[in-house]
Every structure is written in structure tokens, then in C-alpha cells.
Structure 1
């Protein structure tokens, strides 16, 4: 896909995100909570737009499970927390009022290995469900997305894959791989999976050099 056409398709995908209603998830690209800045949804969408623009030459897409309350819920970017945004600097911005930035353990591991391998801009991180599933009445929690939520999110993943045309598609964790049978499995870094994740990512990225 030509660069101009790819940019148009990416923008169309981004513009669709605030319109999504997927099950009982919180749409961080449209909705706000008590700790959000007034323009938080727009900040998060802008973060994702800038993130994808920096990775216009990416040849790997790595798909996780769903937006988490310590990471994408605030940053707009999969496996990425406000702590990461501060490390990256402009044009990325925090969207919360919290005195200390949110920091996601899994995201720290993911970006750590990407930076170690010099692959931060070679890989696009995404989630099967790109908005935040949480427990009822507990917005600062995570829950496993339902089958219906995964199916709805898969449609967006497939659009991203069609646009990017990656050389390799990675499913980070079992849920992502069940949703995307064509993806190469990589262990999720959560729940003592950090070492296996690092080994899996290193092997996957080396396989397409």
C-alpha cells in the first residue's frame, strides 16, 4: 500500500475508535473518568496517531489482549503507560490528573526488550480489544474480555493488518492467539512470563531480519 493511501486508511481507523461501543468496556478515546483531564480522550487519540506515524515503516504487528487500567487506558497505546510517554517526550502527553504517572509492569517489560533490540519503531503494538474491559463498578481494574468483545475487536485488528501488511504478526498471550490463529505465539509478560516473553520476541524479530 502506498504511503499516502496507508496514511489515509490509518486516519480512518483512528477516527472510528471514539465511536466504538464494545460490550461494557470503557472507551478511553471517547469517555472520561474522575482522574482524567478535560481533553483526555483527544490526548489519547493524538498519542496513538503520533505513535503510528513514527512507525510508518514498521514490519511487525504485535497484538495483546485488551487495554489495561495502568497502561492504554491512559496513554491510548497498547502496552504503554504514562511513564513511557514521559520517557519519550514530545509530542506524547499524559491524560490523567494523577500526581505520579501511571506505570504498567507489562508495558515496562515490552518496551524494555524492544529498546534493547533496537526495534521500538519496527513494531506496532495493538490490542485485540483496543478499549478497556473492567470489572463492574471498578473502573481501575482489568477483566478478561468476553467472546463478543474479542470478536468485535478482531475486526479492527484485521483492518490494521491489511493496512500495515506486516512481515510477521505476533499474538502476545493466548487470548490474542485464539482471536488471531494466523499469529505467531509469544508468551505474555504478565504473571512471571517476562523471561519467556523476551526470548519469544527476540526469536520472532530475528526470524524476519
Structure 2
């Protein structure tokens, strides 16, 4: 499957009760927010066409991918990257995601931003009912539906190293992936150590 086809299918996908930020908009979104997020993701992937590592997390979060369109990435990160990346929210201050700050900190430290593609098992946003600015664990059916897109990305990129960030991602990807602890919920230090070790080994 070509990248355009994969992203087109993702933009039209309904994954359980999750919010598809590439198709839908809420009251805090700019009018063209879904198109902004689609463009952000495409730019991000184009810049990493030679990446040999894919790191897959759990699901889009309300402070990060929900607004940026890119896994483990917030509007705050986009401002640091500059044009053509754009914010999609009406919020006066950009959204900032703690996990994303940790992830990009490690990638920047090792000059690996363009070597690694960040993705999520569920690339859309699961939230608590009636609480759009929240996160919840994706259901089994959402994981199954979302993982189709992760597999599609693998088929296109054929990475040398596949990293499962957190248990959900690692269990979904199976034995072909290497597990690293998710940086959330006191996992920051373990994530940094694990990801540094993997990236340094992959560079050897």
C-alpha cells in the first residue's frame, strides 16, 4: 500500500469510539483543523522517508497527537520545528505533552529525529465518555482496528528496528518488536535508558 492510500484510509477510518482527528473537529479546533493535522503528518513522514526505526506507542493523547496529528508530539513541539507545521487548536497557549517532551528529548540528544518514525497502535484519540480532554485505555477492538494502520506503515517503511513503547504496543507488535517502557506514569527514566541503548546499538 502506498503512503497516500494509507493516510487516505486513516483519514476516513472509524476506530471504535475514538475521535479521528484527521477527519473530525471539535469546538476547540480551528475550522481547517483536520486538514492541518493531515498535512502535519504527511510532512513528518516525508521528512523521514529514509528512517530505519519505527517506535510505536499506545494511542493518540489529548495533549499531543489529538492536535498535532503526530504521535508523541504536541503543538509546542511543532512550534519548535517551524514552518510548514501548524497548530490546529484555538487555544491561546499551545498544547504540551509530557511524554512527547521526553521522547523528543531523547531523539534530539542522539540526533535521531529523522531516523525514527513515531506512530501509535491506535492512531486516533480514545477519551472518557463526555470528557474529550481526557485519555483512556483503548479497547481490544480499537487496538485491532488501529493496528491495521501500524502494519500498513511497516509494510511501506520496512524498518530495521521496530520498538514497542509500552505493553500494549509491544504485545500488539509481538516478537518482531523490542519493548521499551512507556514514558508516562513514572516511566520516564526507564524509557530514556531503554531508548538510548536501542538507538546507540542501532547506530553501531
Number of residue pairs the alignment of both structures matches: 202
- Provide the secondary structure at the position in 1 that maps to 2:27: coil
CA distance in 1, matches of 2:133, 2:15: 18
Structure 1 counterpart of 2:88: 95
Moved over 3 A (4+): none
Structure 1 counterpart of 2:112: 119
- Provide the secondary structure at the position in 2 that maps to 1:96: coil
Deviations for 1:53-80, whole angstroms, at most 9, x for unmatched residues?
0000100000000000000000000000
CA distance in 2, matches of 1:138, 1:87: 29
Deviations for 1:82-128, whole angstroms, at most 9, x for unmatched residues?
00000000010000000000000000000000000000010000000
Within the alignment, does 1:161 sit opposite 2:154 as a pair? Answer: yes
Structure 1 counterpart of 2:71: 78
Within the alignment, does 1:195 sit opposite 2:189 as a pair? Answer: yes
Structure 2: gaps spanning 5 or more residues? none
- Per the normalisation by structure 1, the TM-score is 0.95
Structure 1: gaps spanning 5 or more residues? 1-7
RMSD between aligned alpha carbons?
A: 0.8
CA distance in 2, matches of 1:53, 1:108: 22
CA distance in 2, matches of 1:124, 1:177: 16
Structure 2 counterpart of 1:65: 58
Moved more, 56-65 or 154-163: 154-163
- Provide the secondary structure at the position in 1 that maps to 2:58: strand
CA contact (8 A) 2:10 2:149 kept: no
Structure 2 counterpart of 1:3: none
Within the alignment, does 1:136 sit opposite 2:101 as a pair? Answer: no
Structure 1 counterpart of 2:12: 19
